[in-house]
Structure 1
Amino acid sequence: MTGPRPPREAAPEGWTALADAARRVDDLIARLPDPADRTAGQRALVEAAKDRARSHRVRFLTAHVDTVYDRLTEDRTRDLRLDELVTEAGKEYPGLLPTEEHLAGERGRVQADKEGHEIDQGIFLRAVLASPNAGPHLLDAMLRPTPRALALLPGFRDRGTVETDAVRLERRDGVAHLTLCRGDRLNAEDCRQVDDMETAVDLALLDPEVRVGLLRGGPMTHPRWRGRRVFSAGIDLKELSTGGITLVGFLLRRELGYLHKMVRGLRTDPTGPTGWRTPRLEKPWAAAVDGFAIGGGAQVLLVCDHVTAAADSYLSLPAAQEGIIPGASNFRLARQVGPRLARQLVLGGRRLRAAEPDARLLVDEVVEPPDMDAAVDRAVARLAGDAVLTNRRMLLLAEEPVDAFRAYLAEFAFQQSLRIHGEDVLHKVGRFAAGTR
């Protein structure tokens, strides 16, 4: 691979040192076996070289992140999504971020055999999101509808249905029903499901005939739950073990994509005929929990305006036991349930049954399983009221200021990139994938 190209203008202070340190890492890795075959001494050499390069990377970004971001986005006139941003940065500043060549070499490797290039992406995205100039622009870019959704919109408006691999979307009487349908995996999330969810959320927000969105798990084909509805089993740990869960394509896209859109809506053209009212297309969201909402499933409930749960269902956030960070739950959970219960759920892995009194801090209504359909219908009817959307917006201004969310996501980007390459995580998910958990 060729060395890092200097910026078009005079090289900013620290660029040469960073470029040299990054080149030394590449040269060292090229002389050594793959990560799984290295001796302890070789692993220590590589880690020391990476540490030096990452120290230079942090110092460079601390001083120049806005210059880098403005160059990549042409002074913030281009909206680049997360994947586009890191790709462009890898091309323009190959010593700053892994290039496509680096990332291509990682594809197909199990998580334990990767070099940890995502940590460099985490360093970069922490700096971008923490910047009061670059960060808000990136958040707005991620609130644009995806090209896939825009392509599917005419058909959805005409037929009222869209079928994807992981989500079935159907509009009925002004309600967008998003049914999670990975029946063989208990609706465990992978990159495909995140893409399908963002597409479905975009379509529900874009369709003017939709007033409310509803999330619910469909009947399962999994042997233990065959024919029964399940909300979500959370992150697909087998996919994480085999290297299929990525920082940018899953962990950050999920938070800044469909979940953030459920909270704040789609960014629209403020110069349009109705742009003076609001720059976003927003809808209220309801969820119906059958079976369980584990991990990422429970995280989804934190952005919903009404949650109906079957009396025999339960919720849990076992990310600390798995070794990772449960998305934005650490940001949202305490304000909903209080600090003590938040710690019990996140740090202690407490399983919260819907019938327990404490569960009423996370769900609005608990009903017997046969009564779920009627209860859900009543809930979405209430959310369709004319004043709901305005009051929802005002509540969010107080509950979740966008700058506080951005600051959390900046640190999350970095810390989660470390966690997914932590030795404890690799050991735990490796056991899960081998079926020994």
Structure 2
Amino acid sequence: MDVVTVTTNVPHVAVVTINRPDARNAVNGEVAAALDAAVKQVENDPDIWAAVLTGAGGTAFSAGADLKEVSKGNIDSLYTKDGQFAGFVKHPRDKVWIAAVDGFALAGGCELALACDMIVASENSTFALPEVTRGLVAAAGGVYRIVRAIPRALAFELIATGERLPAPRAAELGLVNRVVPQGEALAGALELAQKICANAPIAVRESLKVARQALDHDDDALFDMGLEAQERVKVTEDFREGPLAFIEKRAPQWKGR
């Protein structure tokens, strides 16, 4: 059984699934290597414009690091050169990634969700960084990405207490894009992905490339980045197609080139 699967049943959208439901989709070395390979597959396929990351089973998105492997001294196997933890949290990615969370996203699982661009969660889902309850640090991005995603004081509380944040409250705080009925996170994420894929894919990627750096640079630097992104878009076929489709009163036919 593959511990990570990649399917492309929806046009231009890949679904990447962590497939260890009996282990609450915890990350071991095999998952890390397979997820690293899945990211490369998605990012290198010009026909894929967006990706959804989810966990199998409907109970857990991911419980994070497999503590059985950690206790055996195999923690290094949970990291890859390009992606770091789970082969994902630091992996270079240009395309849109949406986390579809059904159930709980804990510790490294929460960090996987935080590393995505957007999150769709079922109403029964919860998010938590409980590392401090085990004498650990949420060092795979959790301790700073959560602070960027929700109000500072509340982020500090979650980090310091390890308490769980229910999906409806997470949505109120801006951590989650959409809350859907239990069991429908994947369907909700695919719906969002399809709306994104109705737009020019290169323009989306270039826009998000700048947006992801919004908290890292000043206005002048970001303004220049936006201009540079526009210059890269201007040489594409899609740059000409958008205005032409508007003039001809028809839906644009994006090529992604």
TM over 0.5: yes
Q: 1:291 matched to which residue of 2?
A: 103
For the pair 1:397 / 2:198, whether they are aligned, the reply is: no
Question: Match for residue 242 of structure 1?
Answer: 72
Whole-angstrom CA distance in 1 between matches of 2:44 and 2:167: 33
**Which of 164, 171, 178 in structure 1 is aligned with 2:8?**
171
* Structure-2 residue corresponding to 1:216: 54
Alpha-carbon displacement from aligned partner over 1:178-205 (angstroms, at most 9, x marks no partner): 0110122111111211111100111010
CA distance in 1, matches of 2:172, 2:114: 13
Q: 1:229 to 1:383 in 2, by over 3 A?
A: farther
Q: State yes or no: 1:323 paired with 2:160.
A: no
Tell me, in whole angstroms, the C-alpha distance in 2 between the residues paired with 1:378 and 1:238: 36
Q: How many residues align?
A: 210
| SS of equivalent residue, structure 1 residue 231 | strand
d(CA) in 1 for partners of 2:63, 2:20: 10
Q: Is the 8 A contact 1:354 1:360 kept in 2?
A: no
Between the aligned residues of both structures, percent identity stands at 30
**Matching residue of 2:174:** 361
- Structure 2 unaligned regions, length at least 5: 218-257
The question of whether the paired residues in 2 share the 8 Å contact of 1:179 and 1:215 is answered with yes
Shift of 1:373: 4.5
Counterpart contact for 2:100–2:120, Cα < 8 Å: yes
CA contact (8 A) 1:308 1:366 kept: yes
- Which blocks of at least 5 consecutive residues in structure 1 are unaligned? 1-163, 220-227, 266-281, 402-437
The amino acid across from 1:305 in the alignment is D
User: How much has 1:352 moved relative to structure 2?
Assistant: 0.5
Please state whether the residue corresponding to 1:397 is helix, strand or coil. coil
SS in 2 for 1:188: coil
The residue aligned with 2:84 is 255
Relative to 1, partners in 2 of residues 1:170 and 1:350: Cα closer, same or farther, differing over 3 Å? same
Q: Please tell me whether residue 310 in structure 1 is matched to residue 130 in structure 2.
A: no
On the 8 A contact 1:352/1:359 being kept in 2, the answer is no
Aligned residue for 1:382, secondary structure, equals: helix
SS in 2 for 1:399: coil
Hey, what's the Cα distance between the residues in 1 that align with 2:205 and 2:175?
20
Query: What's the Cα RMSD here?
Result: 2.1
Query: In 1, distance between residues paired with 2:131 and 2:79?
Result: 13
1:185 aligns with 2:23: yes
Equivalent residue runs for 1:197-212 within 5 Å? 197-212=35-50
SS in 2 for 1:398: coil
Larger radius of gyration: 1
Partner of 1:178: helix, strand, or coil? strand
